[in-house]
Amino acid sequence: MEVAELLSLQVAPMLSRQRYTSFLRTSAFSLLLLLSPSILSQEVPRLDLTVRDKLPVAAGLVRYLAGTPPVCDAAGNIYMQVVEPAPADNLARPVTKISPDGQHLTTFSLSSVPGVTPESSIDSFTVTPRGEVFILAYLGDFPQFVTFDDDGQFKSSSKLDLDIHSAHFAVFPTGEFLVRGIKVSKSPEGNSNAAFAGLFDRNGKFLKEVETPDEIPFKDRAEFINAAEFKKQYRAANEAMWRSQAFSADDGNIYLVRPTKPLSVDIISPAGEILRRLKLNPPDPSFQAGSVKAAGGKIVVEFIQKTPGDPQNRISDFIYSLFDAEKGEKLYDYHWPSEPGGFFACYEPNYFTFLNVGDNGLSLIHAVAR
């Protein structure tokens, strides 16, 4: 598998690969838990992932995945956005629900949304543990939350108060949305961009901003001597947005993942308070972070290693590190002893699901740790 394929999983920054890890303990101050400077090193067991079964997915899906990683609900259904090779019609990029046995598909498309135009597009999507599907779409000048019934039919939409681009979002059980992206502010002097995370209600009303330190700022061209340095900074700030992730977890909180070094995971309450801010180190600096999942009080980070010196940037190894969601302590490293399983879609304790792309199309791989 090549790195180009894994960009759709929002691969995060380069990190570490010894059988040692460091984790940062947190200390409480009011409702916000801040990172403690104490760093511990710990050797952890490494377990092999073993295929339990491999199930073909019903025909009809193309092999290209969009930017939002595959996700699952509590019933084991898998949700992914499939796209045609470029150039492609924006409306031909639906979110598809795959049943746990791979045989039943449900499509969530903008084609059923009132007011949709050929220029309308899906920016990202999210799924709650109960299986509710929400799409963040551009149907005009501002993004909108779009909701659907279980059968994929349009249910409702609401326009956001703010103009947010390159967004990732998730939904609390109480109905509020956390949105992470680039906030665009317009003025007579011109537009300005800023990193943003904030809460909105179901009607798109902005409620409050969530502070996210260590952001790469969007700076003006005038602050740089030459254009090359400006483009480098601007590209890094954009990548920090599209490599972020946000998802609802079974503890009722939202996990906001940001590609800092080491990886940042902010656990955010429905009130918009950061309960814990974890820093998760990889196995060694030759690895970079891919998809992140959480369940049962644990966080799993997919770490990806490129083949050294390979001009095609092919992938040589995957390690799935299990962390405690309270303190960020690494507990296990999971490893494929042979061929990797594919795109990391779901995690529940001791149980992994992958979307595998082969010559015959998509298949589901269910794996257990030994």
Question: Residue 214: what pLDDT?
Answer: 79
Question: Residue 160: what pLDDT?
Answer: 92
Question: Residue 252: what pLDDT?
Answer: 94
Q: What is the pTM of this model?
A: 0.81
The set of residues, in sequence order, having a beta carbon less than 8 Å from that of 216 and lying 6+ positions away, is: 195, 233, 236, 237, 240
Which candidate, 86, 180, 71, places its Cα nearest to that of 131?
71
The residues of the chain scoring below 50 in pLDDT are: 1-41, 87
Q: Please report, for the chain, the start and end positions of each structural domain, with discontinuous segments joined by +.
A: 3-369
Question: Residue 12: what pLDDT?
Answer: 33
Question: Residue 5: what pLDDT?
Answer: 38
State the architecture of 3-369 in CATH terms: 6 Propeller (2.120)
Question: Residue 294: what pLDDT?
Answer: 95
Question: Residue 38: what pLDDT?
Answer: 32
